[in-house]
């Protein structure tokens, strides 16, 4: 990740150049599938793979359920998993592609020879190339806010007691006006896609969202588990600008919203696998019915320069994220 405010971009062109090097250099690969044959799901019954909330949102926004929404064929996934030495990492139904991990050249060849596989290409090197520094500009140090006299700084007529953060934070974006007319995030579901949400479940800033059950789900697409509180703090910091509620000190813009916290980013390296993770998380956000995604990420410059993108490739048509 580069910079503080991010826009997502990933060219699909790199797959053509990297395919020839897949055996020697990479241990994680993208497997492009030809179709969704043998699928047990149908377009006539979207409730089998989309939540009721997702279907309702799509109806209200006139988004038609199509073949890209059908899950990847379970028969295809089972055949890939059956190959010794292969681990399925993440699966994208919108791209009809699978991310696998293997260091066995024979196993990769076996995958490539499956009749439903269209092509394969590398997603990440055998190991990190030495980039151990944090890719985020801001410090990893997290200093909890201390009690202060700010609690006495409540502003007359404001729904929340903003304290010293009122001028530079809430009022700068007219958040106090929205809060006062009743728009505080209630009823909204926001999916956060980031590098981790360090201690979100114990920090005082989030005691309200934790106590009220506003964290609806979590998933780590990097480590493939449900724990996101032991990773990088950047996602937690972004979450705080929306959900924090410390009366008299700091209040987020939508403290009554509900959240899905997804870790998609590995801060110790920079490879296209991280955007594939992002795509899979975006699909999950859609499927569970999230109203919007908040994600402070971008991709264009990688540890291995073979993956780097040119400006002309960021044209809004070819990258994985825009597709």
* Mean pLDDT, rounded, for 57-84: 96
The Cα angle at residue 184 between residues 178 and 185, in degrees rounded to 5? 125
The 10s digit of each residue's pLDDT in 13-59 is 334 344 444 445 899 999 999 999 988 999 999 999 999 999 999 99
Quote the radius of gyration of the chain (alpha carbons, Å): 22
Strands ordered across the beta sheet of 215-220:
215-220, 258-263, 189-194, 292-294
278 burial type by CB count under 10 A (0-12 exposed, 13-18 middle, 19+ buried):
buried
Question: Interhelix angle for 273-288 vs 52-60, to 10°?
Answer: 90
Please tell me the chain's helix, strand, coil percentages from 3-state DSSP, rounded to the nearest 5.
35, 15, 50
CB atoms within 10 A of CB 164: 14
Place of tokens 């449900």: 226
Residue 171's pLDDT is: 86
Residue 127's pLDDT is: 52
Q: Cα-Cα-Cα-Cα dihedral of 32, 316, 294, 302, to 10°?
A: 60
Set out the domains of the chain in order of their start, with CATH numbers.
Answer: 14-128+268-313 (no CATH), 149-263 (3.40.50.200)
How far from the centroid of its chain's Cα atoms is residue 79's Cα? Answer: 27
Percent of the chain with pLDDT over 90: 64
The 10s digit of each residue's pLDDT in 237-288 is 999 999 999 988 889 999 999 999 999 999 988 899 999 999 999 999 999 9
Half-sphere exposure of residue 259, counting CA atoms within 13 Å on the CB side?
Answer: 33
* Predicted structure pTM score: 0.86
Q: Tokens for 177?
A: 């006006």
């Amino acid at each position: 990740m580069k910079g503080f405010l991010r826009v997502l971009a990933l060219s699909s062109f790199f797959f053509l150049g990297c395919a020839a090097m897949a055996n020697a250099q990479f241990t994680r690969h993208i497997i492009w599938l030809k179709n969704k044959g043998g699928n047990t799901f149908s377009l006539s019954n979207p409730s089998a793979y989309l939540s009721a909330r997702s279907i309702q949102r799509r109806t209200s926004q006139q988004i038609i359920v199509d073949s890209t929404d059908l899950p990847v064929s379970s028969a295809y996934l089972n055949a890939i998993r059956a190959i010794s030495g292969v681990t399925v990492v993440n699966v994208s139904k919108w791209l009809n592609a699978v991310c696998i991990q293997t260091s066995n050249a024979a196993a990769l060849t076996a995958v490539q020879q499956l009749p439903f596989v269209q092509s394969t290409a590398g997603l990440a090197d055998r190991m990190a190339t030495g980039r151990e520094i944090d890719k985020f500009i801001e410090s990893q140090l997290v200093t909890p806010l201390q009690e202060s006299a700010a609690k006495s700084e409540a502003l007359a007529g404001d729904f929340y007691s903003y304290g010293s953060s009122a001028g530079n934070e809430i009022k700068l974006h007219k958040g106090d006006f929205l809060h006062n007319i009743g728009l505080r995030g209630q009823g909204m579901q926001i999916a956060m896609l980031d590098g981790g949400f360090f201690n979100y479940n114990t920090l005082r800033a989030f005691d309200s969202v934790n106590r009220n059950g506003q964290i609806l789900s979590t998933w780590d697409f990097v480590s493939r588990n449900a724990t996101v509180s032991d990773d990088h703090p950047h996602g937690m910091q972004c979450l705080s600008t929306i959900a924090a509620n410390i009366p008299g000190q700091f209040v987020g813009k939508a403290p009554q919203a509900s959240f899905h916290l997804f870790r998609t980013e590995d801060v110790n390296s920079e490879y296209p696998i991280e955007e594939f993770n992002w795509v899979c998380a975006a699909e999950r956000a859609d499927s569970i019915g999230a109203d919007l995604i908040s994600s402070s990420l971008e991709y264009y410059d990688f540890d291995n320069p073979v993956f780097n993108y040119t400006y002309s490739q960021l044209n809004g048509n070819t990258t994985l994220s825009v597709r």
